[in-house]
A and B are shown apart, each in its own frame.
Chain A
Amino acid sequence: MYSYTEFDDAFLAERNAQFRAQVERRIDGSLTEDEFKPLRLMNGLYLQLHAYMLRVAIPYGTLNGTQMHKLADIADKWDKGYGHFTTRQNIQYNWPQLRDVPDMLDALAEVNMHAIQTSGNTIRNVTADHFAGAAADEVADPRPVAELIRQWSTDHPEFQFLPRKFKVAVSGAPHDRAVIKAHDIGLQIVEQDGVLGFQVIVGGGLGRTPMIGKVLYDFVASEDLLPTLEAIVSVYNLLGRRDNKYKARIKITVHENGIEDIRARVDARYALIRPQFTGVDQQMLARIEADFAQPTFKTAPLDAYTAAYDSDPVFRSWADTNLADHHAPGYAIVSISLKAHGATPGDATAHQMHVMADLAAQYGHDELRISHEQNVILPHVHRADLPALHAALKCAGLATANIGLISDIIACPGMDYCALATARSIPIAQEIATRFDELKLEHEVGPLKIKISGCINACGHHHVGHIGILGLDRAGVENYQITLGGDGTQDAAIGERAGPGFSADEIIPAIERLVRGYLDLRSESTETFLQTYRRLGLAPFKAALYPEARANAA
């Protein structure tokens, strides 16, 4: 993976020294909060409900064991012994104190990490498919170009004060695991006549006004990608609305002006700036690609794996649920669930982080990934090592066999932590997972994505959940709205609102009615919730959710 050059180290050391001085000036009263706030946000430091929160970028969700160990050390030393992995492949610390944050940033710099541009109206952490470099269906590893975009966008002088935040996601596979159609820019690596290039999607986003991204270009050659991105962001920077925060994202710019108008403007801007890109970026990309060379895969007999699979039902259940196809023979991609039933989605203790880092070093070519679904991935594990890996994960409470099932819930921090939230998300996720574990139903229910947001900003991606839950404040009481039929993959769709919301007490039984309704409605046991929904539409699901309405109508 990419490791910092002297230039990167010097840049980060200077930024961290600047921020240390800014914190000192804030504490001694030379800076007011109004003056300090934009400076701390530039460095990923929020002030939330109960404490400061530091959001640390994990570029394209990739990290090595040393970095994971450091994240654990930081959690132990300056936080409450845990970290929260987010839907943007970041980690958040919920309890730092202001004086400690410069030391935390210095500790991160030791392992080539930082919190720059994890907030503010800038280009945020570039996200990618969490199976990148490992997936069997991959055209090419999206991480080298994601790293190039990270370098281009970090401290980009033209793009530090955009109309609003700007999120880029990259996928190198036809199966979209990076929700690229719900990003300001989504990039899909495609092959045309034997040449790799990018499909460029623009104007997707969730939040108050959810939009599926539109194709701006079907194919952009690799050497034309950065000037194309620069032209898009440049057009948005001038055209994007600054008069209304709720209309400031590029999805609204695209919606209001139309994709043809945006394309014409980007074409014009591109023609102007293209000569400035002399190919240096392609030389950099070639060096970066070398950093992401594939590990040396081993060959080993599969006897141990087969024996465990045949004899140990717990291992078999985990293997059936948490493994994905790897491109190398004998290898698997392991998803480690951070969704133990009843636990907080995305949270890992410092001990668990150390365990995962050690296991990555021992069995996984020292690579880890964070998924937008708030789990941790070991992308390269030989199947021969899976029984030992599974046993070690079990000891650390990390062997929950529920990837892609009803308890593998995305949930934003919600009102338990977030200053913007209108209701809690975490307890709803905990209760749904606990309830379906009690019922022992989740494996029978099969693939089902529940996504919960604690406010309209949709950090929990509720719009693209098969079942989406949105927490609102209705006259001083938490109220939960359900949307159905959302999808964050290559077939992206925004969920439809099912009807009136439910109180915190009513929402778990409502979800249970909905899921039991699906079990009655599905044509066969292999028809998934989403397939059944697409076949039948909202009406029968609505009837399951609101039995009183059905009774009254009868």
Chain B
Amino acid sequence: MAKPFTPKVVTANALLEGDVIYQTATGWTRDLTQAEVLTDEADADLRMIDASQQIDLVVGVYLADVDPDPVPQPVHFREAFRANGPSNYAHGKQETL
């Protein structure tokens, strides 16, 4: 039996700035908590195709697992660093979040 589909967000890096972005229903956000959570696999596939076609905006699109409640939170520590920034300086997203 196939593994059940766990909640995910579409994420990538912005082409110009290189920073981490997440897909929303209407575009992209730099804040994971604002990302659109995908709970249906077929829907996620479509959203990935849509994101991957935006070649003049984004690079390296993939699906990342999230814990959806109450707002999307990273599941894996790698995604936690992407959502916040490095641990040695207060640079990256943690500067503004």
Contacts and interface: CB of A to CB of B under 8 A. Distances in A.
A49 B92 CA distance: 10
Interface string B39-76: 00000000000000001100110000000000000011
B7 to A, nearest CB: 16
Interface in A400-426: 415-417, 424, 426
Contact of A97 (B16, B77, B85, B92): B16
B88 A426 contact: yes
A51 B82 CA distance: 10
Interface in A49-72: 49-52
A335 interface: no
B60 to A, nearest CB: 7
A50 B85 contact: yes
Interface in B1-43: 13, 15-20
Given A50-B20, A50-B92, A80-B91, A27 B78 contact: no
Interface residues of A, number: 31
Contact of A52 (B18, B75, B93): B18
A33 interface: yes
Contact of B56 (A29, A80, A426): A29
Contact of B15 (A26, A476, A477, A478): A26
Contacts, number: 75
B88 A98 contact: no
Q: How large is the interface on B (under 10, 10 to 19, 20 to 34, 35 or more residues)?
A: 20 to 34
Given A49-B82, A98-B18, A476-B76, A33 B88 contact: no
Given A33-B60, A476-B77, A98 B16 contact: yes
A426 B82 CA distance: 16
A32 interface: yes
B91 A95 contact: yes
Contact of A28 (B13, B19, B56): B56
A416 B16 contact: no
A99 interface: yes
Contacts of B85: 50
Contacts of B88: 344, 416, 426-427, 430
A50 B86 contact: yes
A49, A80, A424: which has the most chain B beta carbons within 10 Å? Answer: A49
Nearest to A46: B18
Contacts of B81: 49-50, 415-416, 424
B16 A477 contact: no
A485 B13 CA distance: 40
B87 interface: yes
Given A424-B87, A427-B88, A47 B59 contact: yes
B64 to A, nearest CB: 12
Contacts of B13: 47, 51
Contacts of B75: 476
A416 B87 contact: yes
A427 B87 contact: yes
B86 A416 contact: yes
A26 B82 CA distance: 24
Contact of A33 (B20, B55, B92): B55
A48 B18 CA distance: 8
A27 B60 contact: no
A405 B40 CA distance: 54
B86 A417 contact: yes
Shortest beta-carbon contacts, A-B, top 8: A416-B86, A29-B56, A52-B18, A51-B18, A50-B92, A344-B88, A426-B88, A33-B59
Interface of A: 26-29, 32-33, 47-52, 80, 94-99, 344, 415-417, 424, 426-427, 430, 473, 476-478
23 contacts: A26-B15, A27-B15, A47-B13, A47-B60, A48-B18, A49-B81, A49-B82, A50-B18, A50-B19, A50-B82, A50-B91, A50-B92, A51-B13, A51-B17, A51-B18, A80-B91, A94-B91, A97-B16, A97-B17, A98-B16, A416-B86, A426-B88, A476-B76
